[in-house]
Structure 1
Amino acid sequence: MAHEITFWLTTASIILVIYHHVGYPLLLKILVRKPLTSAEKGATTQTTPVRGYRSSANDIDLPTISVLMPAYNEEKWIADKIRNLAALDYPSNKVHVVLACDGCTDKTADIARQTAEEALCKHLNVTVIEYEHNAGKVAVINNTMPLIQGDIVALSDISALVSIDAFYIAAHHFSDANVGVLNSRYCLINAADGEQKYWDYQSTIQRNEAQLGSSLGAHGALYFIRRELFTPLAPDTINDDFVLPMQIVKKGFRADINETIQAVELEPTNAHQDFRRRLRIGAGNCQQLMRLLPLLNPLRGGIAFTFASGKGLRVLMPFFMVTALLGSALLAPSNNFFALAMTGQITIYLAVGLCRVAGYQPKGSIAKALQYLVTGHTANLIGTLRYITGLETGRWTRVSEDSKTSNKDKSL
């Protein structure tokens, strides 16, 4: 009896590991090949409207856009960010930039004010809010959103530069009353090995998920929401850039993605910083699964399928991988398949572990992808356990250079 239970648990775990990483992406590709309904076409529209910095009578119909930028010690990037926003192709009288400094101890606020007075930026309406105490990103969003009046709110990391036609394309999407969230494409200038491939993979998944009903979550570099749909986040929310959009999706609105809107991350990360970031995301993945369980209701159709296959299985994946390894080891003496499975798993995990310890970066693309994948699931496992045991606080304060990316968690 015990042998039979071990067999089926191990087999199920192996199947689910393969499904999550290979089967699900392939199934998405197959499903999105079918003819799209008019509503689904709206979720994947890539037509880029052109304004070309030319003012016209049509500008009066464009929605107002407020840019909310929570910040903690961003003096290195804030000037470039404001100059970038000043160069966007959108009527300046319809843009309001709100920089919310969360107890900053550097010159972020002063540099922002000085940059806003430069000749090329003076047309931009910039408000700098300085909160005295560092309360965390979620508190900043909750406290600042009631002060924002724009029809659309763009939430954006300060170290991410935005493509010049981003706001105009976003306005085009929000002309559809069913759209509540719009996501952009996340790009990296200095990507760590395997990281860019991971984000390219995630972009493909997200694009296909959108065709099945709605993209899931967002990344903090840049995404848009209808202001009226904002619901204050729970104070201990970890992955705010996933939970906030999905609260809107839960209300029945659609989350679109347009890959011609690009957010380019300037701040590089090393392997150690990336691992710390993914620990936090792992904890957030567990939290968001628990708090967004209604999205698993089969009546939600495509959203339930993608949320279960993508986000739900991601939380459980490290546990399935451990079960697959232990079960294969127990079954290996009597079954050649499981002996082979055990050997393959141990080889991959040992190779990745040795590379991490030695600081060696593999050369081949497959090896890089495997290292990034295994490292990510390791972080996911630790992060999940940290959340379950109450060790993850949900704050994004910077306490050292090593944790400097903690306010830029991308939870896709």
Structure 2
Amino acid sequence: MNLMLSVLIFLAVVFIYHHFIYPQLLGFFAKRKPPMSSSADNAHCPRIGIMICAHNEEAFIAQKLFNLSAMEYPVEKYEIQIVLDGCTDETKQRAEQAISQLHQQHICAEIHEFTNNQGKVAALNHLINTHKDQYDVLVFTDVSALMSIDALTRIAHHFADEKIAVVSGIYQFYDSSLSQEKYWQYQNKLKLAESNYGAVVGVPGAMCAIRSAHVKPLSSRAINDDFILAMQALCEGHHAVIDAHLNIIEMERDQEGVDFARRVRIAAGNFQQIYLLKHLTKSANPWLLFNFFSHKVLRGLMPLVVMFGVVTLMAAAILENHFFAQACLLILFASVTIGAMKKWFSIEEPCAPFDQINYVLASYAAGCMGIAKYCTGGFNMPWRRVEQTNSSTTKNSGKQGTTAQSNTTNQSAFNVIRFKRVMDIVGATIGLVLASPIMIAAMVAIKLDSKGPVFYQQLRVGQADDDFVELFQVYKFRSMFTDAEQQSGAVWASKGDPRITRVGRFLRKTRIDELPQFINVLKGEMSLIGPRPERPVFYAKLEDNIPYFSLRTYGIKPGISGLAQVMNGYDENIEDVRSKIGWDYAYALALSSPKQWLSMEWMIILKTIRIVVLGKGQ
């Protein structure tokens, strides 16, 4: 075996170990150990300081503050501290308007303003040095990321365990590319497995909660600030965990150029962390040591591994005329060519596996650029928000700029709702016509399978306004035995529910039982897409346990399908409803932007079709 082939095999083994063997090993061991959890009672309420750094965030700052104001946590136990780092847009004005409403709810929020852009590390260090001793827990969160309303309660519950120093949640995008979505599904799965041993290596920067006693100021050279903050807190043998029910929803979708620039910076940070966190090699937690080497150290070096691998492939193909190397290069060339054509002709249809290969190649190309830039001192400038060309970052001018923007937003939401109603009528009419053969077959099957009516009516809560909350009868195909709730009363359906008939189980898995709701849509009681209509019998309990629960249908008709339904499926208990509330808020916020709404509406429709075709319902 010649030297070139030996090098290729070695690099391939390193690549395969990092991407495939390590995750499998981690998953294998994680299954044999239950997730770490605290035995604390729910009365444990530490003082929490929410730390936010903002630079030109006018598109998201208000909704972020309103999201934080909806937290189900004692208002006297948490405060919000915001650094405006040299903002040149309307971020300050919109933050002040939102904070004035928060003060009416007795929620403390304070603004710190830097006249000049000093960089995120300087902003974070200012917050840490100024407020570290005022709180038991510091929560660092991005402006563009929304959190589930039980986030602070869950964080507090974990910190009752003195061993836990860092808590985070599941990072998700309300609108993401296929490759980006798959990447974060992979990362979330990996971090959950690491969490079983309290050895999560790096948490999502969108939301990271750290025990104040373990928070340390960052080095002025730090690039990936979120990772460094969390890892510094673990240097003394403490644990980091991921809460699988704590949702972090990223509202901002990076454009391609922005995403590439972000990956360049992250890769440079990954490479830098090998040196800055070398003291982790002395950790008392063997799992942290194992994860650090297998995950972060190799991730920092992987761009170089891939680069050397491609160079070696080229040398073997050209100099030694090696058939395997030539075949690999041909596949890579085909992937790059297809990717270039898709970009040139603006084709968005997925083309697996070439899309995945291109995403990996682009990521590691960005990684090599990041490492090169870091080694030449290219990351010494303060942070800048990369201006995008969409309407969300357009600045307003003049004294009436803020008011004009608000009026424009309200008008946009009004126009979206009017257009949405037109789509509902057209869509429901077409849906009834196309689905009529399926509906007739379902009616016959229900009649043959069990006694009782074909259709089932159930009282639901509809659109809510300032003076009126609508109640209506939702139409469904009967999927349970007649009088199924006579003995049990009103309870949530569960997996393997004995009340569900054989035909009903199929109808639920394919969502065919929902088809009669097209009639509700035509009557104006429902929409094709919207929050799930809840039963009044559950409403009081949900409102007591989930503050602001009723706001999910404020000014919005409930839908046959919706963002929360396609992301989380059916509700089986209050925890399921609680984890979905953030998705409902995200959908409501999207109505203020026609572009965001259309993008989200189309994504929900496609995911709904996928659920129906693959039978992924309950």
Same fold (TM > 0.5): yes
Answer yes or no: is the 8 Å Cα contact 1:11–1:324 preserved in 2. no
SS in 1 for 2:254: coil
Other-structure match for 2:361:
374
1:18 corresponds, among 13, 16, 22, to 16
Residue type of the partner of 2:29? Answer: L
Give per-residue Cα distances to partners, 1:306-330, cap 9 Å, x unaligned.
1112111122222222222232333
Using the TM superposition, give the Cα deviation of residue 336 of structure 1 relative to its aligned residue in structure 2, in angstroms. Answer: 4.3
Structure 1 length as normaliser, TM-score? 0.86
Other-structure match for 1:55:
none
Answer yes or no: is the 8 Å Cα contact 1:225–1:245 preserved in 2. yes
Residue 271 and residue 121 in structure 1: after superposition, are their counterparts in 2 closer, same or farther (change >3 A)?
farther
2:373 corresponds, among 380, 386, 396, to 386
Give per-residue Cα distances to partners, 1:134-158, cap 9 Å, x unaligned.
1011101111222221111111111
Other-structure match for 2:163:
178
Other-structure match for 1:290:
275
Distance 1:269 1:302 in 2: 34
Residue 305 and residue 378 in structure 1: after superposition, are their counterparts in 2 closer, same or farther (change >3 A)?
same
Residue 352 and residue 14 in structure 1: after superposition, are their counterparts in 2 closer, same or farther (change >3 A)?
farther
SS in 1 for 2:2: helix
Using the TM superposition, give the Cα deviation of residue 243 of structure 1 relative to its aligned residue in structure 2, in angstroms. Answer: 0.6
Using the TM superposition, give the Cα deviation of residue 89 of structure 1 relative to its aligned residue in structure 2, in angstroms. Answer: 0.2
Residue 342 and residue 14 in structure 1: after superposition, are their counterparts in 2 closer, same or farther (change >3 A)?
farther
Using the TM superposition, give the Cα deviation of residue 297 of structure 1 relative to its aligned residue in structure 2, in angstroms. Answer: 4.7
Q: Does 1:226 align with 2:226?
A: no
Q: Quick check: 228-237 or 173-182, which moved more?
A: 228-237
SS in 2 for 1:62: coil
Residue 243 and residue 299 in structure 1: after superposition, are their counterparts in 2 closer, same or farther (change >3 A)?
same
Distance 1:11 1:34 in 2: 32
Distance 1:365 1:350 in 2: 14
Other-structure match for 2:136:
151
SS in 2 for 1:250: coil
Using the TM superposition, give the Cα deviation of residue 32 of structure 1 relative to its aligned residue in structure 2, in angstroms. Answer: 1.6
Q: Does 1:211 align with 2:202?
A: no
Residue type of the partner of 1:106? Answer: D
Q: Quick check: 389-398 or 65-74, which moved more?
A: 389-398
Residue 122 and residue 351 in structure 1: after superposition, are their counterparts in 2 closer, same or farther (change >3 A)?
same
Residue type of the partner of 1:396? Answer: W
Residue 47 and residue 83 in structure 1: after superposition, are their counterparts in 2 closer, same or farther (change >3 A)?
farther
Q: Quick check: 130-139 or 355-364, which moved more?
A: 355-364
Using the TM superposition, give the Cα deviation of residue 256 of structure 1 relative to its aligned residue in structure 2, in angstroms. Answer: 0.7
Distance 2:381 2:221 in 1: 5
Other-structure match for 2:107:
124
Using the TM superposition, give the Cα deviation of residue 378 of structure 1 relative to its aligned residue in structure 2, in angstroms. Answer: 1.2
Distance 2:376 2:222 in 1: 16
2:85 corresponds, among 102, 112, 115, to 102
Q: Quick check: 134-143 or 368-377, which moved more?
A: 368-377
Answer yes or no: is the 8 Å Cα contact 1:236–1:395 preserved in 2. no
Q: Does 1:311 align with 2:311?
A: no
Other-structure match for 2:117:
134
Using the TM superposition, give the Cα deviation of residue 114 of structure 1 relative to its aligned residue in structure 2, in angstroms. Answer: 1.9
Using the TM superposition, give the Cα deviation of residue 382 of structure 1 relative to its aligned residue in structure 2, in angstroms. Answer: 0.7
Using the TM superposition, give the Cα deviation of residue 121 of structure 1 relative to its aligned residue in structure 2, in angstroms. Answer: 5.1
Using the TM superposition, give the Cα deviation of residue 223 of structure 1 relative to its aligned residue in structure 2, in angstroms. Answer: 1.2
Other-structure match for 1:408:
none
Structure 2 length as normaliser, TM-score? 0.59
RCO greater where, 1 or 2, for CA within 8 Å and sep 6 or more?
1
SS in 1 for 2:208: strand
Other-structure match for 2:67:
84
Residue type of the partner of 1:130? Answer: E
Unaligned 5+ segments in structure 2 are: 394-618
Using the TM superposition, give the Cα deviation of residue 369 of structure 1 relative to its aligned residue in structure 2, in angstroms. Answer: 2.7
Q: Quick check: 282-291 or 115-124, which moved more?
A: 115-124
Residue 117 and residue 328 in structure 1: after superposition, are their counterparts in 2 closer, same or farther (change >3 A)?
closer
State, as a whole percentage, how many aligned pairs show the same letter. Answer: 30
Distance 1:47 1:350 in 2: 55
Residue type of the partner of 1:388? Answer: C
Residue 9 and residue 349 in structure 1: after superposition, are their counterparts in 2 closer, same or farther (change >3 A)?
farther
Other-structure match for 1:238:
223
Q: Quick check: 219-228 or 369-378, which moved more?
A: 369-378
Q: Quick check: 167-176 or 115-124, which moved more?
A: 115-124
Give per-residue Cα distances to partners, 1:166-209, cap 9 Å, x unaligned.
00010000001011110111111121231111111110011112
Distance 1:358 1:393 in 2: 37
Other-structure match for 2:314:
329
Residue 208 and residue 6 in structure 1: after superposition, are their counterparts in 2 closer, same or farther (change >3 A)?
same
Q: Quick check: 173-182 or 104-113, which moved more?
A: 104-113
Residue 98 and residue 87 in structure 1: after superposition, are their counterparts in 2 closer, same or farther (change >3 A)?
same
SS in 1 for 2:161: coil
SS in 1 for 2:176: coil
Q: Quick check: 187-196 or 135-144, which moved more?
A: 187-196
Q: Quick check: 88-97 or 143-152, which moved more?
A: 143-152
Other-structure match for 1:64:
47
Q: Quick check: 170-179 or 121-130, which moved more?
A: 121-130
1:266 corresponds, among 251, 264, 289, to 251
SS in 1 for 2:80: strand
Answer yes or no: is the 8 Å Cα contact 2:103–2:109 preserved in 1. no
Q: Does 1:253 align with 2:238?
A: yes
SS in 2 for 1:118: helix
Distance 1:146 1:366 in 2: 48
Q: Does 1:278 align with 2:263?
A: yes
Residue type of the partner of 1:326? Answer: V
Answer yes or no: is the 8 Å Cα contact 1:238–1:394 preserved in 2. no
Using the TM superposition, give the Cα deviation of residue 356 of structure 1 relative to its aligned residue in structure 2, in angstroms. Answer: 4.7
Distance 2:24 2:387 in 1: 41
Distance 1:119 1:236 in 2: 35
Residue type of the partner of 2:176? Answer: A
Whose Rg is larger?
2
Give per-residue Cα distances to partners, 1:87-110, cap 9 Å, x unaligned.
110000001011111121223222
1:111 corresponds, among 94, 103, 108, to 94
SS in 2 for 1:117: helix
SS in 2 for 1:126: strand
SS in 1 for 2:178: coil
Other-structure match for 2:57:
74
SS in 1 for 2:382: coil
Using the TM superposition, give the Cα deviation of residue 67 of structure 1 relative to its aligned residue in structure 2, in angstroms. Answer: 0.4
Answer yes or no: is the 8 Å Cα contact 1:352–1:374 preserved in 2. no
Using the TM superposition, give the Cα deviation of residue 4 of structure 1 relative to its aligned residue in structure 2, in angstroms. Answer: 3.1
Distance 1:340 1:298 in 2: 44
Distance 1:304 1:390 in 2: 29
1:93 corresponds, among 59, 76, 93, to 76
RMSD: 2.7
Using the TM superposition, give the Cα deviation of residue 299 of structure 1 relative to its aligned residue in structure 2, in angstroms. Answer: 6.2
